[in-house]
Amino acid sequence: MKMPVTLNINNTTWNLDIDANATLLEVLRNNVLNQQSVHRSCEEGECGACTVLMDGKPVNSCLVMAASAQGSTIITSEGLMRGDELHPLMKAFVDELGLQCGFCTPGMVMSAYALINQWEDEELSDMDIRKAIEGNLCRCTGYVNIVNSIRRAKQAKDAGNWW
């Protein structure tokens, strides 16, 4: 069954005709939206590679029926860029080599973005960071440089370099 859905994706509103049994992941990756940073792996909400922000909160897009996302605002990691300019969080990942194969990275970035965005305290402990990314599995980095990247990004935000 086809059905209409309205989604705001990275600040653009889309009126889409989707399959009722499509997941948000499938819709984001399709030919129309082409959000290829949203990676598909387990399709069961276990790896976090498909993490996007839905109404500001990180979700596994493989576990969200696209139909139920009706009216919501979605941000993928492509949406953090300003033109060709990397978001300060992404820049921190590049500088700290917080990625190796890069497959888990866009999802990881979205969890980290949600964490830093809502974190108001000065102090952000390593365990706070680790807990925030517990749903994003990485097999390459051992997480050390990812934690370093996120800590560095927090400093960037504290210094006013953030959007």
Partner 1 sequence: MENRETRLISGKGQYADDLDFPGMAHLVFVGSPHAHAVIKRLEVDKALKVPGVLTVITGQEMVKYTNPLPVQANFKSKGWTWRLAHVYAMPKDKVRWYGEPVAAVVAEDEKTARKAADLVEVEYEPLAVTGNALEALEPDAPKLYDDWEDNKQVHLKFDFGEPETAFEEADQVMHIKTREGRVTGLPIEGRGCVANYNLKKDTLEMWGSFQTPYLARHNIAATLGMPEVKVKINAVDIGGAFGLKIHAWKENVVALASKLTGRHVKWFEPQKDFIVTGPHQRDVFWEGDVAFKNDGTLLGVKATVTHDLGVESTNKGIAALSIFPACSAVPNMYRWKGMHIEGVGAATNKSFYCAYRGYGKDKGIKFIEHALNQIARKLGMTPEAIRLKNYIQPDEFPYHQINSYVYDSGDYPGTLKKALDMANVDEVRAKKEQYLKEGKYIGVGVISAIEPAGVAVPNCQMGGITQARVQITADGTIEVHSDRTEIGQGSEASHAIIVSNILGCNREDVLVKPVTSDYIGQGPLSSRGAVYPASAVAKAAKILKKKVSQCAAAFLKVDEASLVMEGGLIFSSNNPDEKLTYKELAEKSYFFPGPRGLPPEILKNHDHLLDVTTTWYSPTTPDSGSSYTSFCTSADVAVVEVDIDTGATKIIKYAHVHDAGTIIDKQIVDGQIHGGIVQGIGEALSERLDYNEKGQLMTSSFSTYLIPTAVEAPDIEVAHLETPSPFTETGSKGMGEAPIIGSKAVILAAIEDALTPFNIEVNESPATPERVRSWIVAARKEQEESK
Partner 2 sequence: MKNFVGSRALPDLVYHCPENMNALMALFDTIQGEYKIVAGCTDFIPAVRGGRWSFNDGLSLIDIKKIDELNFIKETDGIVTIGAVTPLSTIMSSDIVQKHAPGLCHAMSTMASPQVRNVGTMGGNIAMSSPAGDTVPSLLALGASVIIKGKQEEKKVALDQFFTGPGKNIMASNEVLKAIEFPALKADESVHFQKIGTRDAVIISIVSAASFLKVENGVCKAARIALGSVAPTPIRVPKAEAFLKNKPATREVLAQCAELVAREISPITDLRASADYRRDLSETLSRRTLMACLDDLNP
Q: Which residues bind partner 1 (CB under 8 A)?
A: 29, 31, 35-37, 39-44, 46-47, 49, 76-78, 81, 84, 86, 90, 93-94, 97, 99-106, 109, 126-127, 129-131, 133-147
Name the 3-class secondary structure at 59: strand
User: CA-CA distance, 32 to 111, in Å (whole number)?
Assistant: 25
- As a whole number of angstroms, the distance between CA 90 and CA 4 comes to 34
Residue ranges binding partner 2 (CB under 8 A): 1, 3, 20-23, 43-46, 48, 51, 54, 57-60, 62-65, 67-68, 70, 111, 114, 131-132, 134-136
Is the CB of residue 10 less than 8 Å from the CB of residue 52? no
4 interacts with, out of partner 1, partner 2, none, CB within 5 to 8 A per kind: none
Residue 6, binding choice from partner 2, partner 1, none, Cβ under 5 to 8 Å by partner class = none
- Give one word for 39, left, alpha or beta, with left for phi > 0 and alpha for psi -120 to 50: beta
